[in-house]
Amino acid sequence: MDSKTVDTDLIIAGGGLAGATLALALARLVPELKVTVVESFPLSPEAPPEDYQPSYDSRSTALAWGSRLIFEQLGLWQRLSEHATPIRHIHVSDRGRFGATRLHAEEHGQDALGYVADNRWMGLCLMRALGDTGVRWQAPAAVTGMQPLAGGVKVAIDQEGEHRELTARCLVVADGGRSGLREKLGFVPRTEPYGQNALIANVSTSNSHQFTAYERFTESGPMALLPHGAPGQAGHQSALVWTLSDDRLDHVLAMSDEEKCQALQDRFGWRLGRFTRIGQCHHYPLKLTTVDEPVRPGVALVGNAAHALHPVAGQGFNLALRGLMALVEQFRRAVDDDIAIGDLAVLGRYQQRHRQDWRQTVQFSDSLIRIFGQSLAPVAVARDAGLVGLDLLPGAKRRFAHQAMGTGGRKILAGVDSPVTGTKHDDW
Ligand SMILES: Cc1cc2nc3c(=O)[nH]c(=O)nc-3n(C[C@H](O)[C@H](O)[C@H](O)COP(=O)(O)OP(=O)(O)OC[C@H]3O[C@@H](n4cnc5c(N)ncnc54)[C@H](O)[C@@H]3O)c2cc1C
């Protein structure tokens, strides 16, 4: 396909956190590419919501320090940070046992180990930033299929009942993995259910969070409380991720708010004082989904379409961001070298570059859940030893901290710098 016959260079199926961030990164770092985002939800950069209303019930994401650096590179961090609560300390503990480990930002010479941002706020910042770029947006519309062509792809789109086709050099699937598109395109996801659900809510406590994120492992599953709601001062709100079995979830959902606060108190203890309020609860079944081969000629998977992790370790979107930058790096290189962006060699290098980080992060978050989800006595003793050991051994603790901060994989930022600073590709 030559540039006269192709409708657009790249189609991104899905304009959620991953798809929208990819579109922005391309607009900033590979502006030569014409990018079209197809999003099934009726949200668009041309008409973003007027205001950000920090709702008591909105979902939030723990952004690692490495993700802050990526957003800085994309010129979005200043805006995002207006409503991002810093995580200055991480406290990991095991209910009813003595092991605990603590990480402190100052030990790593940083202001924060990470940040907590509302998904709604991130979406709004992304939409506003995209509004000033040449990225085209089709919404509400859904990608329903793809056909390979010589040097490109033909993408089938349903837009308000009408069937359309767009040609492009490459399709990136960022649909979150729930629309069935990746299976339709022949990708084979591997899914391992955890047999648990994540219950999400915002909570208020009588003590201030002091910018501390708590990860607490209990015999019925892990729980995380992330500091939330006040970038400038240590507030009393935290974002809760509580893992529960199916039975237990039904039981908790049937409780009054007072009973939920009491159940939380029993599980979590008193480190944040009394739980005084709980917002609306949302819940998600938990599974580990990975796709071993996330690329084909002309098509690549990113974000949750490529990997969905247990949320308690707060790694999913952070890993996705690093993957997006690895892909952008390869698109930049292809454009510079005049190679088709959908070429399997280009997409294969993205997979190769991201693979080690991907494996390490999946293993980190999965082993946290599996080791700390066990109630068998020998395992419990071993994990106590692990937590204590982590606290005492600077090397082990540093590795844990680097993973939590999103700086544990390969040099994630070198590639982001390169298009701007002109670093040689081989150094990436
Ligand atoms: C409870 C919970 C807590 C989490 N907490 C954290 C955390 O603290 N830190 C962290 O790093 N990660 C966290 N994650 C993971 C993080 O939320 C995901 O990694 C991230 O949302 C994935 O974004 P995505 O864009 O890939 O998918 P999605 O957010 O699912 O977006 C997919 C988009 O594609 C659109 N779409 C779907 N099908 C089609 C189609 N056929 N055509 C066009 N558009 C389509 C959808 O409308 C949607 O907008 C958490 C996840 C959960 C469930």
pTM: 0.88
Type of residue numbered 305: A
Atom of ligand 1 nearest to the CA of 309: 15
Report the pLDDT value the prediction gives residue 369, as an integer from 0 to 100. 67
333, 425 contact by CB (below 8 A):
yes
| CA 305 to centroid of ligand 1, rounded, Å | 8
For residues 80 and 20, what is the distance between their CA atoms, to the nearest angstrom? 14
CB burial of residue 164 (10 Å; 0-12, 13-18, 19+): middle
Residue numbers of the chain with a pLDDT score lower than 70: 1-4, 53-57, 95-99, 312, 368-428
Write the Ramachandran bin of 273: left for phi over 0, alpha for psi from -120 to 50, otherwise beta. Answer: left
Give dist(CA 226, CA 246) in Å, integer: 24
* Residue 231 structure tokens: 């970038």
**What is the reported pLDDT for 239?**
93
Rounded to 10 degrees, the C-alpha dihedral 339/36/128/231 comes to: -60
Q: How far is the CA of 316 from the centre of ligand 1 (A)?
A: 9
Is the CB of 23 inside a 6 Å radius of any atom of ligand 1? no
Cβ–ligand 1 distance for 39 under 6 Å, the answer yes
CA distance linking residue 91 with residue 101, whole number of Å: 6
Q: Is residue 155 within 6 Å of ligand 1 at its C-beta?
A: no
Q: Cβ(222)–Cβ(97) under 8 Å?
A: no
Closest CA to 288 of 200, 154, 192: 192
**Structural domains of the chain, ranges and CATH numbers in brackets:** 8-192+287-427 (3.50.50.60)
Q: Is the CB of 284 under 6 A from ligand 1?
A: yes
Determine contact, residues 300/172, Cβ cutoff 8 Å: yes
Ligand 1 near 212 CB (within 6 A): no
Cα–Cα dist 18/25, whole Å: 10
Take atom 30 of ligand 1 and give the residue whose Cα is closest.
Answer: 176
Q: Determine if ligand 1 sits within 6 Å of the CB of residue 198.
A: yes
Residue 109 one-letter amino acid:
G
- Closest residue by Cα to atom 40, ligand 1, is 142
Q: What pLDDT score was predicted for residue 157? A: 97
Ligand 1 centroid distance, CA of 176 (Å): 5
Ligand 1 atom index nearest CA of 286: 53
H helix or E strand, kind and range, residue 90: strand 89-94
Helices (H), ranges, 269-343: 316-336
Q: What is the number of the ligand 1 atom nearest to the C-alpha of 315?
A: 11
Q: What is the 8-class DSSP label of residue 285?
A: E
User: Does the CB atom of residue 123 touch ligand 1 within 6 A?
Assistant: no
CA distance 420 to 260: 50
Q: How far apart are CA 387 and CA 361, in angstroms?
A: 19
| Residue 103 CA, ligand 1 centroid: distance in Å | 28
Q: Is ligand 1 within 6 A of the CB of residue 52?
A: no
Q: What is the pLDDT of residue 127?
A: 94
The CB of 142 under 6 Å from ligand 1? The reply is yes
Q: Is 317 in the pocket of ligand 1 (CB under 6 A)?
A: yes
Question: What does the pLDDT read at residue 102?
Answer: 82
Does the CB atom of residue 200 touch ligand 1 within 6 A? yes
- 149 beta partners: 152
With beta carbons less than 8 A apart as the criterion, state whether 404 and 90 touch.
yes
Please give the number of the atom of ligand 1 that sits closest to the Cα of 41: 47
Find residue 402's DSSP bridge partners.
none
Q: Which two tokens stand for residue 103?
A: 């990480």
Judge contact between 49 and 125, C-beta under 8 A. Answer: no
Q: Is 215 in the pocket of ligand 1 (CB under 6 A)?
A: no
Confidence at residue 399, expressed as pLDDT on a 0 to 100 scale: 63
Do 249 and 241 contact (CB within 8 A), yes or no?
Answer: no
Taking residue 417's Cβ as centre, other Cβ atoms within 10 Å add up to: 15
Mutate-to-test residue for ligand 1 from 11, 12, 24, 39, highest number of ligand atoms within 8 A of CB? 39
Asked if residue 102 lies in contact with residue 91, where contact means CB atoms within 8 angstroms, the answer is: yes
Q: Which residues are CB-contacts of 324 (< 8 A; sequence separation ≥ 6)?
A: 18, 21, 22, 25, 302, 303
CA nearest 404: which of 101, 93, 90? 90
Is 317 buried (19+), middle (13-18) or exposed (0-12) by CB count in 10 A? buried
Q: Is the CB of 204 under 6 A from ligand 1?
A: no
User: Torsion over CA of 96, 249, 224 and 217, rounded to 10 degrees?
Assistant: 30
Report CA(1)–ligand 1 centroid distance (Å).
32
Q: For ligand 1, atom 39, which residue shows the shortest CA distance?
A: 175
